[in-house]
Amino acid sequence: MSDSYSMEKEEIYSKVMRAGRRTYFFDVRSTKAGDYYLTITESKKFTNDDGSYHYKKHKIYLYKEDFADFKDHVSEMIDYIIDEKGEEVISERHQSDYNKEDVKDKNIGGPQSAQEAGTVADEPAPTNFTDIDFDDI
C-alpha cells in the first residue's frame, strides 16, 4: 500500500463526537477499488495510578451493502430504549439532586453488586466488613 493511498484514505470525510471520557470518530474511507465505507471508532481514555494515561480503541468497519440493515437496527434499538425509558438519562452522575450519602445510608447491609447500589463500576466497592480474628477459630 502506498503512502498516497493511505493519505487519501484518511482525508475523505471525518466527524468527531466527544462524550465524556469517550470520543467517537466517524470516518469515510476508500477501498482499493475506490468505493467508500465507514469506520466508527470508540476511543476511551484511561488514567494509570501514576497519572499517565492511555487510550483503548474499538473499531467497526461498515460497508455499503450493510448500511440499510445497520441503520434499521440502530434506529430500532434507539426507539426501543426511548420508548422503554424515555430520553432522560438515568444515572447518579446526571441527577441534579443526587446525594451520595443517601445511597450509602440505604445500603448499610452491603449491596451484592455495584449495580444494586446504584454506583458506577469505576467507584471503589464498599468497605463495611466484619473484623475477624483468626485466632478465635
Residue 94 lies in a domain: no
Residue 127 lies in a domain: no
Q: What one-letter code names the amino acid at 62?
A: L
pLDDT band at 36 (very low <50, low <70, confident <90, very high): very high
Q: Which of 15-24, 58-67, 85-94, 112-121 has the lowest mean pLDDT?
A: 112-121
Q: Which residue has the higher pLDDT, 20 or 24?
A: 24
Look at residue 21 and tell me whether its pLDDT is greater than 80: yes
For the segment 44-53, what is each residue's pLDDT rounded down to a tens digit? 988 899 989 8
The CATH number covering residue 17 comes to 3.10.450.700
Residue 106 lies in a domain: no
- 136 forms bridges with which residues in the sheet? none
For the segment 67-107, what is each residue's pLDDT rounded down to a tens digit? 999 999 999 999 999 999 999 988 766 555 555 555 445 44
| 101 contact partners, CB below 8 Å, separation of at least 6 | none
Residue 92 lies in a domain: no
Residue 56 lies in a domain: yes
Compute the mean pLDDT over every residue in the chain, rounded to the nearest whole number. 75
Q: What one-letter code names the amino acid at 108?
A: I
Residue 103 lies in a domain: no
Query: Residue 124: what pLDDT?
Result: 47
Q: Supply the range of the domain harboring residue 38.
A: 11-85
Residue 137 lies in a domain: no
Query: Residue 84: what pLDDT?
Result: 95
How many distinct structural domains can be found in the chain? Answer: 1
User: Quick one: which H or E segment has residue 30?
Assistant: strand 22-30
Query: Residue 116: what pLDDT?
Result: 42
Whether the model clears a pTM of 0.75, i.e. scores above it, the answer is no
Residue 124 lies in a domain: no
Q: What one-letter code names the amino acid at 124?
A: P
Q: Which residue has the higher pLDDT, 92 or 28?
A: 28
